[in-house]
Amino acid sequence: MKLGLVIMAALLAAQPAPAPAPAPAPGQRPGSCRFNSAALQFRGSPVEQAQCLLRPVGKYGKLSSAPAVLPPSLAAQIGRPIDIDKMRFRGLLSAQGRDEYLLGGPLDAPIPRARYFVIHDTSQPWLGDAASFPPDDAPQLSELASYLGPEAVAHVFVNRLGETAPGHDFAEPWRASKFELKSLDDAAPGLFLHVELVQPRRRDRAGRGRNDALAPLPGFTPAQYDALALLYVAASLRCGQWLIPAFHAVLDEGMPGGHDDPQHFVLDDFAAALDALRQRLADDPPP
């Protein structure tokens, strides 16, 4: 018996050790989308990056493992030089009674380092055990002042009516994700622009503690998608190319305490708002 154990131990010792898990390449941060701190970008082409960074976000921040299916019109422009006429865009903003300063700052102020347009939801106001969500025009869903101030968590906020309020100019480097705060050094300021869409939340009684896991369906209003399209164009104009859109929860993937937003964001609705905006700009007479 003892001899058999000795022989078995010898055989096990002779087995090759399991290969270690591959380490990230030098300068590469862990996570599915693989941010390379030397190149200051995620892995792949701009479209491939967007396919990773826009993976659907489920309840409690569960992410799809499959690449996002991008609407063709959105995929066709990501990472390319922007083809929007600034004066026509200004004319459209004037016709809508919108101030460009409420869309992240002056259009003439370049933000050449910007690369990613990060979409969040506020997960507020928190409604606790309320049986339903209030209507989108409820005062508590249109109020924006409480989100603002020197420590506002994002560059721009958008309420359920599509009204916008600036937390910081897009030109101000501002970190609004755990990924930026914990994984990036000072070599990457200004790469990420952050937009918060107001979305109320309720407690999931099947979950633990004071959670905010339940979001409304649909997740966002048509007015919010329209405003987000304006913000995306305004930021891309200042950058000089169409930015790479991303979801907050995907940036924080794998990080303790990572976020679960935006919930119920529909890429097709965002793309449709962009398409409609581009059509209006094409139809408008030159300034």
Residues 256-272 have pLDDT tens digits of 877 899 999 999 999 99
Look at residue 285 and tell me whether its pLDDT is greater than 70.
no
Instruction: Read off the pLDDT band of 172 (50, 70, 90).
Output: very high
- The answer to whether residues 196 and 120 touch, using CB atoms and an 8 Å cutoff, is yes
For residues 237-250, give the mean pLDDT: 98
Instruction: Read off the pLDDT band of 20 (50, 70, 90).
Output: very low
Query: Whose CA is closest to 199, among 118, 125, 273?
Result: 125
- The answer to whether residues 131 and 208 touch, using CB atoms and an 8 Å cutoff, is no
- In the chain, the amino acid numbered 178 is K
> CA quadruple 256, 257, 262, 264: dihedral positive or negative?
positive
pTM, two decimals, is 0.89
Instruction: Read off the pLDDT band of 254 (50, 70, 90).
Output: confident
d(CA 128, CA 236): 37
d(CA 33, CA 54): 10
Residues 93-142 have pLDDT tens digits of 999 999 999 999 999 999 999 999 999 999 999 999 999 999 999 999 99
For residues 153-165, give the mean pLDDT: 98
d(CA 269, CA 262): 14
Question: What pairs with residue 166 in β-bridges?
Answer: 156
Look at residue 283 and tell me whether its pLDDT is greater than 80.
yes
Degrees, nearest 5: CA angle 25-67-64: 100
Which helix H or strand E contains 165, and what residues bound it?
strand 164-166
The domains found in the chain, sorted by start residue, are 46-283 (3.40.80.10)
DSSP 206-254: TSSSS---B--SSSS-HHHHHHHHHHHHHHHHHHTB--EEEEHHHHTTT
Q: What pLDDT score was predicted for residue 99?
A: 96
Q: What pLDDT score was predicted for residue 11?
A: 35
Q: What residue has token string 């990773």?
A: 52
Residues 192-228 have pLDDT tens digits of 999 999 999 999 999 888 899 999 999 999 999 999 9
d(CA 188, CA 27): 13
Look at residue 247 and tell me whether its pLDDT is greater than 70.
yes
Look at residue 71 and tell me whether its pLDDT is greater than 70.
yes
Beta-sheet pairing, 244-247 with 116-121: parallel
Residues 25-67 have pLDDT tens digits of 333 344 689 999 889 999 999 999 999 999 999 999 999 999 9
